[in-house]
Structure 1
Amino acid sequence: MATSRFIKDPGLTARMTLTMFLLGALFVGLVVALMYAFQGYSVLIAVIAIAMAFWQWWSSDKVAMRAMRAREVTPQEAPELHGMIDRLCALADMPKPRVGVSDLPVPNAFATGRSPDRAVVCVTTGILQTLEAEELEAVLAHELSHVAHRDVLVMTVASSAGIAAGLLLRFTQFGGMGRSRNNSGLPVVLVALLGSLVVYAVSFLLLRLLSRYRELSADRAGAYLTLKPAALGSALQKISGEVAAIPQRDLRAGSAASALCIVPALRGGLSGLVATHPPLQQRLEQLARIQAELSRPTG
């Protein structure tokens, strides 16, 4: 975990480590199985697998920014936003990330990037118009904690396993069709299909579990950094309320990066095991407990 003044979260570190280990093992197992099944294409499969993981890691910030129609802004273009992030980074003792603004009416914010030095914290024009200064600062603290804890990097790299499983499945089907002329392709395709589906399903569920926990962890870290958990709770309620009032067609513009956002980009999103975010009530209850703790007299 990166060094900063954000509170440490051993639970997040353990979950990120376990998720990376399990998905890495699944990914390697899938590649080895496909290399064995398609020996003539073994080198190509290995190169494709490595290239996909590297590209996902290297271009994560650009992909997320493009998905959210965001652009990087200078201190001259957004002085108040930069000022807030400057103060929070000084308070957290961490490097300042790049700052972006997305021209979307949906109130939201996200952080992305392959490392703290390459990170971007981005807000939409909708959230700038919706929140008060104290609430926006609380949201930015939440996003900066994602950067400090490096969970953005882990989520990005870990998602490579599921993406690779889908792409390698396509390759398997293509290679299997060639073998089917010798009546040996069908079993190979079925085995590869099963393996790819297992990797994708496990990747999907593990990432959802990690995503929900990382949001609760970022809420905690941001609240303790600013000492204003009520401001973050108010911001979450306002954002969720605004999202509920925005037409669904407008929400889809930001749905590609929904898992990275502080609240789900789509109204009435997935729930339970497949949700990317914990329920709003659970987040508010956690913040209320922190507020009560901070309000308790000391000494």
Structure 2
Amino acid sequence: MKWTRDFGLTMRMVLTSFLLLIVYLIFLGVLAALGFPFEFLLLVAAGMAFLQFFFSDKLVLWSTGTRLIEEDEYPELHRMVESLAARADLPKPKIGIMASPVPNAFATGRSPSNAVVAVTDSIMRVLNREELEAVLAHELAHVKNRDMLTLTMASFISMLAYLIMQNWIFMGLFGNRDSQNNGMGALVLVYIVSIVVWIVSTLLTRALSRYREFSADRGSAEMTDNPRALISALQKISGRMDYIPAEKKREVEGANAFFIIPALSGNTLMELFSTHPPLEKRVAALEELAAGTR
């Protein structure tokens, strides 16, 4: 197959990374100006970056309860992924199964050579073969576009800000004597700055996440030459969400940025920071592809 490189996604990944780097440096600069030891800040930042880069995929698998499966367990699923990977000129990724009544799929890993494509056991009962193939192609498109690592690393800054938001009083103990003498004023300022950084970085990563879904949808259409199968799959998955108990969706909400369709329980702030574009817009874009106009 001929793979069309998405320069729009590439430029957005570069721009998002650059803007987040600026936000990150400003954040560290404010904390250092308030008296927090710069060495301590760098140590925390470097440690979290190291853990995210090398263990983010394992963390996703662990947090979702995803189990890697061998070929003899799900031979048809393995054959489908292997065929699609060959079509996209990718090494065959590891394959995982996540036990959940929420029909969904995701990809993780910092590079094509260590990628994992996973599906929930319920999605294989909901979709037919063509629809499942289209969903798997969507996940492999994420691998091909290498946007998984960018999203993971981009989310690091918002995670750091969120961590400080939760532990701002504890962080004050590490300031120097001057900052401690400033009392609650400095701590309140740290808290406010952390909130601003968290909101800005979250909005930036969500914007990137929404665009990458459009790109992966296009990649699936190119890989399978069947955009209508992905339309059908997206509509089936989305429609099924209405019948899933809220507590079951809440169990997997932490992985929504990776899912092909987010599982929203309706009781969190995740609707305000949507990781995915509206289903109607995704379907409209795929319909244009199916009509040969894009």
TM-score by length of 2: 0.92
Instruction: Decide whether aligned partners of structure 1 residues 248 and 188 sit closer, same or farther in structure 2, where only a CA change above 3 A counts.
Output: same
**Cross-structure match for 1:95:** 91
Superposition pairs for residues 195-206 of structure 1, below 5 Å?
195-206=193-204
1:13 to 4, 10, 15: 10
1:209 to 207, 210, 225: 207
Letter in 1 for 2:135: V
Over residues 76-116 of structure 1, what are the superposed CA-to-partner deviations in whole Å (9 max), with x where a residue is unaligned? 11111110011001111111111100011211000011211
**Number of matched pairs:** 291
* Separation (CA, whole Å) in 1 of partners of 2:26 and 2:20: 10
1:131 aligns with 2:130: no
**Cross-structure match for 1:31:** 28
* Separation (CA, whole Å) in 2 of partners of 1:110 and 1:6: 21
Superposition pairs for residues 116-155 of structure 1, below 5 Å?
116-155=112-151
**Cross-structure match for 1:264:** 262
1:279 aligns with 2:293: no
The Cα RMSD (Å) is 2.2
User: 2:34, 2:179 within 8 Å by CA — same for their partners in 1?
Assistant: no
Over residues 230-271 of structure 1, what are the superposed CA-to-partner deviations in whole Å (9 max), with x where a residue is unaligned? 000000111111111111112222111011100011255878
TM-score by length of 1: 0.90
Superposition pairs for residues 190-269 of structure 1, below 5 Å?
190-268=188-266
Letter in 1 for 2:194: S
Instruction: Decide whether aligned partners of structure 1 residues 272 and 171 sit closer, same or farther in structure 2, where only a CA change above 3 A counts.
Output: closer
User: 2:35, 2:178 within 8 Å by CA — same for their partners in 1?
Assistant: no
Instruction: Decide whether aligned partners of structure 1 residues 271 and 181 sit closer, same or farther in structure 2, where only a CA change above 3 A counts.
Output: closer
Residue 155 of structure 1, CA deviation: 0.7
Instruction: Decide whether aligned partners of structure 1 residues 182 and 273 sit closer, same or farther in structure 2, where only a CA change above 3 A counts.
Output: closer
* Separation (CA, whole Å) in 1 of partners of 2:145 and 2:115: 12
**Cross-structure match for 2:110:** 114
**Cross-structure match for 2:159:** 163
Letter in 1 for 2:53: W
**Cross-structure match for 2:185:** 187
Higher helix share: 1
User: 1:162, 1:204 within 8 Å by CA — same for their partners in 2?
Assistant: yes
Q: Which has the larger displacement, 228-237 or 168-177?
A: 168-177
1:22 to 19, 22, 28: 19
Identity among equivalent pairs (%):
46
* Separation (CA, whole Å) in 1 of partners of 2:133 and 2:219: 13
Instruction: Decide whether aligned partners of structure 1 residues 35 and 170 sit closer, same or farther in structure 2, where only a CA change above 3 A counts.
Output: farther
1:45 aligns with 2:45: no
**Structure 1 residues without counterparts, runs of 5 or longer:** none
**Cross-structure match for 2:292:** 293
**Structure 2 residues without counterparts, runs of 5 or longer:** none
User: 2:250, 2:265 within 8 Å by CA — same for their partners in 1?
Assistant: no
Partner SS for 1:47: helix
* Separation (CA, whole Å) in 2 of partners of 1:99 and 1:272: 29
Q: Which has the larger displacement, 78-87 or 30-39?
A: 30-39
Partner SS for 1:274: coil
Letter in 2 for 1:285: A
